[in-house]
């Protein structure tokens, strides 16, 4: 047998894509499936953004660009960070990447090696752990607890740090829980990080513009004392409904941005040039679509949480951000993954089992409410019917 790099035995993936494929397969067979599994806005990219990409293609923007992204786009990112959050970030520290995910790939590669520890949220975005394991670093899960609204606990996170900690990954607002870490907790965390000056920080703020109840997003860029070791991950996918465009950006300290640029040159060369022009239009154009999408998600959030709390054996805390609910299903008598499979097979509702987001995800399901209110209500009715059924061993339902 030809040997491949043994690291490939350790790399994981995202089950949301497997659930998407399974739901599509059931739909092909004529089943009516409501997909609350996949984490992408169900809106179209606003027309003026699409127009900008079409224009770029018509104007002949067909070649390679600078590996770090075209200057007007990096300048637009810098101006947007100033307009939105009030921070000064030089365009020279911005790297345009093909999707937010690429920033985590680069950052984890940069700091992960055997002997290093990387602290990451659990339940959390599955790629963090997958990439940590791939590099041979030790994954150190920081538990996100329901009783904290799935926010980071500064004390618990800091207690996990050791002299071997090379990278701490933060994510607020969070996938899969919708948890938002309060500003005071972030203050405490950053203050405690002063004791660990050799640890880099990756702040995944891809849902930063999706917070509710008047809560302002607290970016880690606010803390100038950690700027020299902070990597900010953001992008267009969620804010502008552009998941398929593959467009993201990151802000790095100078030396690390140059290392990241080399990774770009060694892999994808540059981001699709038309998509970069679309990115400029998104940041410089009208922002009303962002506010409208947020308002619609908020309506759905309220409906989904109220509906979940009416289901037998289910309780859900109110998520403060992103577009996910993470209900506790432990009192249904089901383990989370068999429940997610049964809901899909039996009543055509696609969700993701909490364990797909880490060991601390057992007992929970992730529901993405990036679907119409009507479909959300239909899905909740189907879930209520299913959970009210007497569990029969003949029903083929795999109770734990």
**Interacting residue ranges for ligand PLP, rule: CB under 6 A:** 39, 99-101, 125, 171, 175, 204, 206, 235, 237, 243, 248
The residue (of 171 and 273) whose beta carbon lies closer to ligand PLP is 171
Please state, in angstroms and as integers, the Cα–Cα distance from residue 27 to each residue in 64, 244, 288, 347, following that order: 39, 21, 34, 12
Q: Which residues of 54-92 are buried (b: 16+ CB within 10 A; e: fewer)?
A: eebeeeebeeebebbbbeebbbbbbebbeeebeeebebe
The residue (of 246 and 337) whose beta carbon lies closer to ligand PLP is 246
CA 116/CA 132 separation, integer angstroms: 10
Residue (of 158, 203, 147, 153) closest to 182 by Cα position: 153
Residue (of 134, 137, 139) closest to 4 by Cα position: 134
**3-class DSSP state for residue 168?**
strand
Pairing of strands 117-122, 138-143: parallel
CA 44/CA 242 separation, integer angstroms: 8
The residue (of 99 and 307) whose beta carbon lies closer to ligand PLP is 99
The residue (of 271 and 316) whose beta carbon lies closer to ligand PLP is 271
Report the nearest approach of ligand PLP to the CB of residue 156 (Å). 20
Report the nearest approach of ligand PLP to the CB of residue 45 (Å). 13
Report the nearest approach of ligand PLP to the CB of residue 248 (Å). 5
The helix-helix angle for 100-111 and 254-267 (nearest 10°) equals 110
The residue (of 146 and 205) whose beta carbon lies closer to ligand PLP is 205
Report the nearest approach of ligand PLP to the CB of residue 114 (Å). 25
Report the nearest approach of ligand PLP to the CB of residue 100 (Å). 3
For 255, other C-beta atoms within 10 Å of its C-beta total 9
Residue 169 pairs with which residues in a beta bridge? 202
Report the nearest approach of ligand PLP to the CB of residue 175 (Å). 3
The residue (of 175 and 332) whose beta carbon lies closer to ligand PLP is 175
The residue (of 27 and 40) whose beta carbon lies closer to ligand PLP is 40
CA 259/CA 255 separation, integer angstroms: 7
């Amino acid at each position: 047998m030809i040997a491949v790099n043994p690291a490939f035995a350790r790399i994981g993936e995202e089950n949301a894509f497997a659930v998407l494929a399974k739901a599509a397969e059931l739909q092909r067979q004529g089943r009516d499936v409501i997909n609350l599994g996949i984490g992408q806005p169900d809106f179209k990219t606003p027309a003026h953004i699409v127009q900008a990409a079409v224009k770029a293609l018509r104007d002949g923007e067909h070649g390679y660009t600078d590996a770090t992204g075209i200057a007007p786009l990096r300048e637009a990112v810098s101006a947007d960070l100033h307009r939105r959050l009030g921070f000064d970030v030089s365009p020279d520290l911005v790297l345009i990447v093909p999707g937010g995910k690429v920033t985590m790939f680069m950052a984890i590669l940069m700091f992960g090696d055997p002997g290093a520890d990387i602290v990451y949220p659990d339940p959390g975005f599955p790629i963090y752990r997958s990439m940590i394991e791939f590099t041979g670093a030790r994954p150190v899960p920081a538990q996100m607890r329901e009783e904290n609204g799935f926010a980071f606990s500064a004390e618990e996170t800091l207690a996990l740090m050791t002299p071997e900690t090379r990278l701490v990954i933060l994510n607020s607002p969070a996938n899969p829980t919708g948890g938002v870490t309060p500003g005071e907790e972030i203050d405490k965390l950053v203050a405690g990080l002063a004791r660990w000056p050799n640890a880099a920080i990756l702040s995944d703020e891809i849902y930063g513009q999706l917070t509710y109840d008047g809560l302002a997003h607290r970016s880690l860029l606010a803390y100038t004392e950690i700027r020299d070791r902070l990597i900010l991950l953001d992008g267009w996918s969620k804010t502008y409904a552009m998941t398929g465009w593959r467009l993201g950006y990151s802000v790095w300290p100078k030396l690390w941005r140059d290392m990241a640029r080399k990774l770009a040159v060694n892999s994808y060369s540059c981001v699709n040039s038309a998509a970069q022009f679309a990115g400029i239009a998104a940041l410089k154009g009208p922002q009303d679509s962002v506010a409208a999408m947020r308002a619609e998600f908020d309506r759905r959030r309220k409906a989904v949480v109220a509906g979940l709390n009416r289901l037998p054996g289910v309780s859900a805390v109110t998520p403060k951000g992103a577009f996910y609910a993470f209900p506790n299903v432990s009192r249904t008598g089901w383990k989370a993954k068999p429940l997610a499979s049964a809901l899909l097979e039996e009543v055509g509702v696609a969700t993701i089992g909490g364990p797909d987001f880490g060991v601390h995800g057992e007992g929970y399901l992730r529901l993405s409410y990036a679907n119409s209110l009507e479909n959300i209500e239909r899905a909740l009715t189907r879930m209520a019917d299913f959970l009210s059924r007497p569990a029969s061993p003949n029903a083929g339902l795999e109770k734990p």
